[in-house]
Structure 1
Amino acid sequence: MTYPRESMWDVFAAVCAEAGSPVTSEKIEAYVHDFLLSRRGQAIEELERGAEYPDSDAEFLSIFLSMSRLVFSFAGLDGDRHEALAGKFLDRFWDRANWHVFPDVVPALERLRARGVRLGIISNASSELADFLKKIGLFSLFDFVCISAVEGVRKPGRRIYEKALELAAVDPSRAVHVGDMLLEDVLGPSKLGIRPFLIDRRPRSMFPRHPERPDPWIQTRVEVVRSLHEVTSALDV
């Protein structure tokens, strides 16, 4: 629904340059993408085994700190500087002024609401997400918000989708889930029988130069779209 004007990789590159170790955003993106891709098989196995995925504000922050350490190590920066540099990254990347709403989002949500569709958010985020959604004018468009740090479980954990289904008062077979990550937004919800849509927001996706591409065995589980308008069209709403 939203995108940063200055991408995660641009911010990391800027922080590294200011710390005296310049590295391009392209190289950082490629490095992190390859690192995560090398662990995808293990992540899928953990999901299939029924992993729990506990979450909290502290856990959410630790994920970003871990990624920051990965990037700063790649850039050759000393470990004793990582925590301070991570703070600079977080302040700059999560600055409210850095975030914008995709132009198709509000019209599509209003169209769905006008037709009686219950709308909710399931997000791996800190407890501050609700305030953020209010500031950017999206909170009132949703019937409920499931925040991982509040619910105590993050996607792709089964319990957070079950909570959303409970709040929506809908059977999984009548629910859809839209997101941009294979594990969290396709495999997780599809295990409960929820219809997933993988949204490709290039060039504003997390990995614009390395788009998510479903493996052949996943392709039967997902529909790839470029906007929420395509979702409403697919649902004939």
Structure 2
Amino acid sequence: MTTIKGVLFDFSGTLLRIEPAESWLRAALAATGVAMDETELARRAAELERAGALPGGSSPVALPDGLAGLWEVRDRDAARHRALYTGLARQVPLPAEELYDALYERHRTAAAWRPYPDAAEVLAELRRRGVRTGVLSNIGWDLRPVLRAHGLARYLDSCVLSFEHGLQKPDPRLFAVACQELGLDPSAVLMVGDDRTADGGATALGCAYLPVDHLPVERRPDGLRPVLDLVG
């Protein structure tokens, strides 16, 4: 068995978790100065969640016909990503048009994300052991500032984002780019992620794969620690 010399981590649901829909909507309301009573806020937040409008949150219960094609390619460029998620949000009536863009902007801020409790510890230990690490994410915007704000970027050697390459997981070509960024053969790389289809696609290139559960941070205190048992 090849020794693991590098680890690639997915972003959302793996290293960090997006905030709940209610706090997401509340932050957008605060940013725009729009008022909404708590009962309506809770109802609209639940509707936004069912619509799949929160990136990193639940998938849509039902995709509108006009957005189904966009859903499949949403992470290949920034414009598609924004169009898809603002389009999903517009399925829910909100009291001001500017809220739809404010919601999208909110999810790109560091305040909207919480690292899993063991993320920094595991990354720091991998760095101490000389294991190369990187983030490989299907995403439509630059998440590096979020990683820096939460103190995780200092432990990473690379960051490969789907929209910057016009490719999205499970395309083997994106995994190949990420392995090249680490300077390692795929057989020496472990992919860690919560999506068994997208992240698990790394095995087609010869990488190992470790699944984690996409749970609220308080319910997954040590989901990343098994990584340390798999590397030297």
TM-score grouping bracket, smaller chain normalisation? 0.5 to 0.7
Q: Specify the SS of the correspondent of 1:3.
A: strand
* Contact 2:135–2:156 (CA under 8 A) maintained in structure 1: yes
* Contact 1:52–1:157 (CA under 8 A) maintained in structure 2: no
Tell me which residue corresponds to 2:224.
228
**Shift of the alpha carbon at 1:122?**
0.5
Bigger proportion of residues as helix: 1
Q: What does residue range 3-14 of structure 1 map to in structure 2 within 5 Å?
A: 3-4=17-18, 6-8=19-21, 10-12=23-25
**Are 2:125 and 1:111 aligned?**
yes
Aligned counterpart for 1:134 among listed residues 148, 152, 160? 148
Which deviates further from its counterpart, 194-203 or 16-25?
16-25
Aligned counterpart for 2:181 among listed residues 156, 163, 167? 167
* Contact 1:125–1:148 (CA under 8 A) maintained in structure 2: yes
Aligned counterpart for 2:109 among listed residues 95, 107, 117? 95
Higher RCO by CA contacts (8 Å cutoff, separation 6 or greater): 2
**Shift of the alpha carbon at 1:105?**
1.0
Aligned counterpart for 1:61 among listed residues 82, 87, 91? 82
Aligned identity (percent) is: 25
* Contact 2:77–2:164 (CA under 8 A) maintained in structure 1: yes
**Aligned partner of 1:181: which letter?**
D
Separation of aligned partners in 1, 2:217 and 2:196: 17
Scaled by the length of structure 1, the TM-score of the pair is: 0.66
Separation of aligned partners in 1, 2:74 and 2:25: 26
* Contact 2:140–2:162 (CA under 8 A) maintained in structure 1: yes
**Aligned partner of 1:88: which letter?**
A
Alignment root-mean-square deviation, CA: 3.6
Structure 2: gaps of 5 or more residues = 1-14, 53-57
Q: What does residue range 42-61 of structure 1 map to in structure 2 within 5 Å?
A: 55-61=76-82
Aligned counterpart for 1:193 among listed residues 206, 223, 226? 206
CA deviations on 1:90-137 (whole Å, 9 max, x unpaired) are 233333223232221111111112222111111123443223322222
When residues 37 and 67 of structure 1 are mapped into structure 2, their CA distance, relative to the original with a 3 A threshold, is closer
Structure 1: gaps of 5 or more residues = 44-50, 209-224
Scaled by the length of structure 2, the TM-score of the pair is: 0.68
**Are 2:178 and 1:182 aligned?**
no
**Aligned partner of 2:129: which letter?**
R
Q: Specify the SS of the correspondent of 2:211.
A: strand
Q: What does residue range 213-224 of structure 1 map to in structure 2 within 5 Å?
A: none
